[in-house]
């Protein structure tokens, strides 16, 4: 809910429907300036236009409902029987201020086919307010429309709801009540609280007399007679209260001297910038009711056995983390030939562990003497010619192989390197 000082409202321009002699006179009778009413009566009339006609979209009840509908017409759904009464109260309000009744009221009163839809939006609003202030009905506590209008103007949204229920839509059905609840809750956050400052206290007027015994200068308020006391001469003598005090004998304690006003230093402060002193209007909205409803959560209680204290057995304490010792391990040495890695394979070779092998016995490595044998003379067949193709088939010539095709096993490479 926004708040605003009443004095600031007095400096603002009024809406057209509030700035008329009849409406000003109505709020004078209510007891507050009409300027106070502008924020909350604008909101109130906007709210009931939403309830009655969806903000001016449905201007005829019969057109919306059908033959079974009422004669309600216009933005605020005024029925035929009430319309003439409202016009009469509006005319009376102008006459109470000594003003001429506007032609739009006079013409509508004299027209048997009068229709609220012929009024302008400002005329509809003015007629609603003048009719509301003239209504004689009071509630069970004796509260009439004047009190409710004043409370609404100052920021009492419940007073606005009472004006609607008791003095506008006097016989709502269940659907209308639900719709009214929705709209009044919807705009409740936009209500403005009017802060009214107290009026300054006027200093009393003091009458001075040169001669209190002169009857021609007798005070306007009769003075109390003091018996046979006769004041012959009047001096500006000290009063009894002043004579009873010997100012020279008053002793001021040292503790009091420390706080004398002349010893107090007030630090200089910068003035607050004007832009920080401007009014702030917060366009707040109420939280929808459906978001404020209670949420029932189907939750289950945690089993008691899961909430019991955990007891660590003695045998488990032996393996607590603080008792675990990590043995120191020596760093694996990398053979010198493989300290500079040129490939992933070279790096992996350093991680290969070669099993220890036994040496071949020395006696197996001694030279073996092969006895010489005499070669027999090869047969020299006489007169037989063997074609070369046959010789190649029996003893095919060796194929020449490129050194690039020779693959040396990795195990042989490892043995050579060791």
Query: Any idea where the domains of the chain sit in the sequence?
Result: 2-195
pLDDT of residue 225: 46
Each of the 418 residues of the chain gets a pLDDT tens digit; together they read 788 888 888 888 999 999 999 999 999 999 999 999 999 999 999 999 999 999 999 999 888 888 888 899 999 999 998 999 999 999 999 999 999 999 999 999 999 999 999 999 999 999 999 999 999 888 777 888 999 999 999 999 999 999 998 888 767 789 889 999 999 999 999 999 999 865 454 555 554 544 555 555 555 444 444 444 444 444 444 444 444 445 555 666 666 665 555 556 667 777 778 777 777 777 777 777 777 777 777 777 878 777 777 777 776 666 555 556 667 777 666 555 544 555 555 556 556 566 677 777 777 777 767 666 655 555 555 667 778 777 777 777 666 666 666 677 777 777 766 6
Q: Which residues contact 41 (CB under 8 A, 6 or more apart)?
A: 18, 129, 152, 153
Placement of tokens 């220890």 in the chain: 356
Distance of alpha carbon 36 from alpha carbon 194, whole angstroms: 7
Structure tokens at 144: 């009439």
Q: What is the DSSP letter of 271?
A: P
Give the Å distances, CA to CA, from 355 to 13, 352, 361, 418.
105, 10, 18, 12
Is the separation of the CB atoms in 354 and 414 below 8 Å?
yes
Give residue 223's pLDDT.
Answer: 46
The token pair at 191 is: 């209500």
pLDDT of residue 234: 43
305, HSE (Cβ side, Cα atoms, 13 Å): 0
Whose structure tokens read 């890695």? 341
Q: Give the whole-angstrom CA distance, residue 255 versus residue 348.
A: 92
Q: Give the C-alpha separation, 63 to 49, whole Å.
A: 17
Quick one: DSSP state of residue 60? B
Count CB neighbours of 245 within 10 A.
Answer: 10
Q: Quickly count: other Cβ atoms within 10 Å of residue 197's Cβ.
A: 8
In this prediction, residue 242 carries a pLDDT of: 45
Which region holds residue 69: left if phi is over 0, alpha if psi is between -120 and 50, else beta?
beta
Q: What are phi and psi of 193, to 5 degrees?
A: -85, 125
* Cβ contact 180:170 at 8 Å: no
Element (H, E) at 317: helix 314-317
Instruction: Please state, in angstroms and as integers, the Cα–Cα distance from residue 359 to each residue in 52, 171, 335, 414, following that order.
Output: 113, 120, 22, 16
C-alpha span between 374 and 395 (Å, rounded)? 24
For residue 119, how many other CB atoms are within 10 A of its CB? 21
Whole-prediction pTM value?
0.49
Helix axes 121-134, 145-154, angle to 10 degrees: 130
């Amino acid at each position: 809910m926004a708040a605003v000082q009443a004095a600031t409202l007095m400096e603002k321009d009024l809406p057209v429907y509030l700035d008329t002699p009849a409406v000003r006179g109505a709020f004078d009778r209510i007891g507050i300036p009409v300027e106070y009413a502008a924020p909350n009566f604008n909101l109130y009339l906007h709210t009931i236009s939403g309830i009655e006609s969806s903000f001016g979209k449905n201007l005829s009840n019969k057109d919306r409902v059908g033959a079974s509908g009422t004669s309600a017409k216009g933005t605020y759904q005024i029925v035929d029987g009430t319309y003439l009464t409202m016009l009469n109260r509006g005319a009376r309000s102008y006459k109470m201020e000594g003003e001429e009744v506007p032609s739009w009221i006079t013409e509508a009163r004299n027209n048997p086919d009068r229709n609220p839809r012929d009024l302008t939006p400002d005329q509809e609003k003015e007629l609603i307010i003048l009719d509301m202030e003239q209504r004689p009905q009071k509630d069970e506590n004796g509260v009439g429309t004047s009190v409710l209008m004043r409370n609404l103007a100052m920021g009492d949204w419940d007073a606005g709801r009472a004006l609607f229920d008791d003095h506008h839509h006097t016989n709502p059905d269940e659907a209308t009540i639900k719709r009214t609840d929705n709209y009044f809750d919807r705009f409740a956050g936009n209500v403005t609280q009017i802060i009214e400052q107290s009026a300054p206290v006027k200093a009393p007027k003091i009458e001075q007399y040169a001669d209190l015994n002169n009857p021609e200068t007798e005070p306007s308020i009769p003075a109390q007679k003091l018996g046979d006391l006769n004041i012959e001469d009047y001096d500006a003598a000290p009063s009894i209260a002043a004579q009873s005090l010997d100012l020279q004998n008053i002793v001021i304690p040292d503790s009091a001297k420390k706080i004398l006003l002349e010893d107090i230093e007030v630090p200089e402060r910068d003035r607050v910038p004007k832009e920080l002193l401007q009014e702030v209007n917060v366009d707040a909205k109420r939280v929808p009711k459906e978001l404020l409803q209670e949420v029932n959560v189907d939750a289950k209680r945690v089993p008691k056995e899961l909430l019991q204290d955990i007891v660590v057995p003695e045998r488990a304490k032996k393996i607590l983390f603080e008792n675990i010792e990590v043995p120191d391990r020596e760093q694996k040495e990398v053979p010198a030939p493989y300290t500079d890695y040129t490939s992933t394979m070279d790096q992996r070779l350093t991680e290969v562990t070669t099993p220890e092998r036994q040496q071949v016995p020395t006696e197996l490595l001694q030279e073996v003497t092969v006895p010489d044998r005499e070669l027999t003379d090869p047969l020299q067949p006489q007169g037989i010619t063997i074609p070369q193709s046959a010789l190649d088939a029996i003893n095919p010539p060796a194929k020449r192989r490129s050194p690039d095709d020779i693959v040396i096993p990795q195990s042989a490479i490892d043995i050579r390197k060791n």
